[in-house]
A and B are shown apart, each in its own frame.
Chain A
Amino acid sequence: MAHSSPKNPHPDTLAVHAGQSPDPATGSRAVPIYQTASYVFPDTDTAAALFDMEVPGHVYSRLSNPTVSVFEERMAALEGGAGAIATSSGQAALHLAIATLMGEGGHVVASSSLYGGSHNLLTYTLPRFGIRTTFVPARDPAAWKAAIRPGTRLLFGESVGNPSVDVLDIPAIGAIAAQARIPFLVDATVTTPMLGRPLEQGAHLVMHSATKFLSGHGVVIGGVLVDGGRFDWEAGRFATLTEPYEGFHGMVFTEESPATAFLLRARREGLRDFGACMAPMTAFQVLQGLETLPLRMARHIENTRTVVAWLASRKEVERVHHPSLESHPGHALARSLYPRGCSAILSFEVKGGREAGRKFIEGLALFSHLANIGDAKSLVIHPASTTHFRMDDAALAAAGITPGTIRLSIGLEHPDDLVEDLGRALAASQR
């Protein structure tokens, strides 16, 4: 007998509806902005029960908020997870994941192709709290395996690295993580659930900077951490989840809920004590973006294909880095993991090195020179002097960045206008 799973709503439908019912108080079809710090308790017994996790509900907006919950539930549905926690930024999501899983003596194995901010956190800041990181190449599973040591509590990489556009071998590293019984966190900011779902490919946790494609318009700072709910915390060495937590009435999170133990601790300790929660207005703005994410990502990818092909044909360009090109080392992997396209981010090297790069950026009129990606507007930056300037030459090389590397984030403008702007700037770079 052939068996087929029940039909689930498509991602395009989830992006518009998941996590929201018309407001029970007013009937509002749009997600209401619950701009409130706290919530009136109907009686003292309910108040105590809410505080003690005997009934679900909202107490204080640092812990949860109805508008923010819609975003969390929508992201969990899109990623195929058990639940999610929205944070004040992508960086806060990464910190929350790490702080929930480990303390002093903890160790992370991370891809060397990371956003500069994540690299800063892992290299310079967390060692002060006794947490150290070993960086390994994104597509070298053997190096990941070799870097694991007894204190390792997390494997971490970006689905598509920023800015080198390195493609993370999620299935291979996921298999290593499963074998070593260590959770694997993927930062899927660049790919979004519209291009790939890391939890289905082998990751256990997924995070995003919601500032980028999820919100899509460059108007908010936010992040989100999604729990796949499948990792067996009790088989590993995760005392924060399996031992009584005196900070919450001796609760053993894996006993309370085997499938959502990570989320419980991250919310009950991480949001409570570190406090990096998402604001309701931010959640509303990200949700506005999410509703059109499927449409936008298709256009981002289409425009990027045009720009990549055009740049690759230009004599002023030394090299273009994008997985859609056969010359890219992640080309085959990208085709298998991201059949619809994998990145609206690309980097390239203009002939003439740093000086030509400077002239190129200053020659652009339509592209905005700024430190962000994933905006409706096309963006450009010179990583070696900005986002990654704290990295030494070896770390830059490991991240696939040279002094002449230029990163583009392709927006939603008409592709002819983008090519026109790039053409003028390339000509200026060679003068």
Chain B
Amino acid sequence: MQFIVQGYPAYAYTGGVEPDFKLPAIVFVHGAAFDHSVWQWQSRYFAHHGCCVLAVDLPGHGRSPGMIRARIEDWASWLVALLDAAGLAQAALVGHSMGSLIALQAALAAPDRVRRLALVGSAVPMAVGEAFRAAAREAPDVALDMEAAWGHARLSQLGASAVPGSTLLGASRCLNARSRPGALAAALEACNAYRPDAQALGSLAVPTLVAAGKRDQMTPFKAGRALASAIPGARLVALEAGHSMMSEAPRELLRALGDFLA
């Protein structure tokens, strides 16, 4: 489904159904150099279970044209503008990795617009090593290899996939390969630089869930745990997965989100 957000078309996958904007809304936000399809399972499930689902393609990603933003704050403004464009007074925001920072910042900036907040594979701050950022600037293919390898549990190529017939790391790398040149480099810089107001974080009143992968190589489990303890009343869910919990542990993540968003 297309919206016009900040002057540009913006695409959102609606889970395979015509969205009913009267239903409780959930907006899914993808991470660096990805698109809406990382939420393939969760978005389709909730769209068929009483929710209005918008799994967005951020500007410059997937089917959304437009400028790639340099700061998490700018992405978050876009996300709030998307809620306006969709006529949603409130929505639950579910973000992964960079998308979790965007969702978090949107909740900090416009808490009255956010019914619930789910942060999947998150850390604050989300420090990104210089080697990764430099590769993204100078050798994008190598950086996308890093994104795929570190974006899943170590040696995930050797185990069974939760999605029959798919190699999670391979499919993820193929999706990254479709990203616009410069998208990963900009995203990594934005994540690395983001520092939310600690006081605002400590008084965030939006009910929050942090889903952390016990084998996450990007945002280690302990960082997820620390984030959950920094947000008042935040719930922490530990999943047997790496950073890409949506595909590595799709059923377990669905269960956690289902309990939280209900």
**Contacts A/B (CB < 8 Å), 27 sampled:** A3-B134, A5-B145, A9-B155, A9-B157, A13-B158, A20-B159, A21-B160, A53-B41, A53-B44, A54-B41, A54-B48, A55-B41, A55-B254, A56-B251, A69-B161, A72-B165, A77-B157, A77-B167, A83-B165, A83-B166, A230-B174, A230-B177, A256-B13, A256-B40, A258-B175, A259-B175, A260-B171
What residue in chain B is nearest A85 (Cβ atoms)?
Answer: B165
The interface residues of chain B lying within 8 Å CB-to-CB of A81 are: 167, 170, 174
Q: How far is the CA of A8 from the CA of B155 in the complex (A)?
A: 8
Shortest distance in angstroms between B142's beta carbon and chain A's nearest beta carbon?
Answer: 4
Shortest distance in angstroms between A362's beta carbon and chain B's nearest beta carbon?
Answer: 45
Shortest distance in angstroms between A16's beta carbon and chain B's nearest beta carbon?
Answer: 9
Q: Does B162 contact A (CB under 8 A)?
A: yes
List 9 additional A-B contacts (Cβ < 8 Å) besides A19-B167, A54-B44, A54-B49.
Answer: A8-B157, A9-B155, A48-B48, A256-B40, A258-B35, A259-B37, A259-B175, A260-B174, A263-B166
The interface residues of chain A lying within 8 Å CB-to-CB of B194 are: none
What is the size, in residues, of chain A's interface with B at 8 Å between Cβ atoms?
Answer: 52
Are A256 and B157 also in contact (CB < 8 A) when A3-B142, A69-B164 are? Answer: no
Q: Which of A44-80 contact B (CB under 8 A)?
A: 48-49, 52-58, 64, 66, 69-70, 72-73, 76-77, 80
Whether B250 pairs with A55 at a CB distance below 8 angstroms is yes
Whether B174 pairs with A259 at a CB distance below 8 angstroms is yes
Q: Does B16 contact A (CB under 8 A)?
A: yes
The interface residues of chain A lying within 8 Å CB-to-CB of B143 are: 3
What residue in chain A is nearest B161 (Cβ atoms)?
Answer: A73
Q: How far is the CA of A263 from the CA of B167 in the complex (A)?
A: 12
* A85-97 to B contact mask, C-beta < 8 Å, 1/0: 1000000000000
Are A69 and B160 also in contact (CB < 8 A) when A76-B166, A82-B167, A258-B175 are? Answer: yes
Q: Does A26 contact B (CB under 8 A)?
A: no
Shortest distance in angstroms between B69's beta carbon and chain A's nearest beta carbon?
Answer: 22
Whether A5 pairs with B146 at a CB distance below 8 angstroms is yes
Q: Does A393 contact B (CB under 8 A)?
A: no
Q: Does A267 contact B (CB under 8 A)?
A: yes
Q: Does A1 contact B (CB under 8 A)?
A: yes
Shortest distance in angstroms between B185's beta carbon and chain A's nearest beta carbon?
Answer: 12
Q: How far is the CA of A228 from the CA of B141 in the complex (A)?
A: 16
The interface residues of chain A lying within 8 Å CB-to-CB of B164 are: 56-58, 64, 66, 69, 72
Are A83 and B170 also in contact (CB < 8 A) when A54-B45, A55-B254 are? Answer: yes
Residue of A1, A52, A70, A260 touching B166 (CB-CB under 8 A): A260
Shortest distance in angstroms between B230's beta carbon and chain A's nearest beta carbon?
Answer: 30
Q: Does A396 contact B (CB under 8 A)?
A: no
The interface residues of chain B lying within 8 Å CB-to-CB of A64 are: 164-165
Q: Which one of A8, A58, A263 has the highest number of Cβ atoms from chain B below 10 Å of its Cβ?
A: A8
Are A56 and B167 also in contact (CB < 8 A) when A20-B159, A21-B160, A232-B178 are? Answer: no
The interface residues of chain A lying within 8 Å CB-to-CB of B13 are: 255-256
What is the size, in residues, of chain B's interface with A at 8 Å between Cβ atoms?
Answer: 45
Shortest distance in angstroms between B35's beta carbon and chain A's nearest beta carbon?
Answer: 7
Q: How far is the CA of A1 from the CA of B143 in the complex (A)?
A: 13
Q: Does B62 contact A (CB under 8 A)?
A: yes
The interface residues of chain B lying within 8 Å CB-to-CB of A48 are: 48
Q: How far is the CA of A258 from the CA of B170 in the complex (A)?
A: 13
- Which secondary structure characterizes the binding site on chain A? loop
Are A84 and B165 also in contact (CB < 8 A) when A6-B149, A8-B157, A18-B158 are? Answer: yes
Chain A to chain B: the 5 pairs with minimum beta-carbon distance, closest first: A229-B174, A5-B145, A6-B149, A83-B166, A54-B45
Shortest distance in angstroms between B154's beta carbon and chain A's nearest beta carbon?
Answer: 10
Q: Does B139 contact A (CB under 8 A)?
A: yes
Q: Which one of A8, A48, A56, A263 has the highest number of Cβ atoms from chain B below 10 Å of its Cβ?
A: A56
What residue in chain B is nearest A19 (Cβ atoms)?
Answer: B160
* B136-152 to A contact mask, C-beta < 8 Å, 1/0: 00110111011001100
Q: Does B4 contact A (CB under 8 A)?
A: no
Residue of B62, B142, B162, B251 touching A258 (CB-CB under 8 A): B62
Whether B174 pairs with A56 at a CB distance below 8 angstroms is no
Q: Which of B172-203 contact A (CB under 8 A)?
A: 173-175, 177-178
Q: Which of B242-262 contact A (CB under 8 A)?
A: 250-251, 254
Q: Which one of B62, B150, B174, B250 has the highest number of Cβ atoms from chain A below 10 Å of its Cβ?
A: B174
The interface residues of chain A lying within 8 Å CB-to-CB of B250 are: 55-56
Q: Which one of A1, A18, A250, A259 has the highest number of Cβ atoms from chain B below 10 Å of its Cβ?
A: A259
Residue of B45, B48, B138, B163 touching A3 (CB-CB under 8 A): B138
What residue in chain B is nearest A84 (Cβ atoms)?
Answer: B165
The interface residues of chain B lying within 8 Å CB-to-CB of A56 are: 41, 162-164, 250-251
Are A83 and B146 also in contact (CB < 8 A) when A54-B41, A54-B44 are? Answer: no
* A245-284 to B contact mask, C-beta < 8 Å, 1/0: 0000111000111111001000100000000000000000
The interface residues of chain A lying within 8 Å CB-to-CB of B48 are: 48-49, 52, 54
Q: Which of A225-239 contact B (CB under 8 A)?
A: 228-230, 232
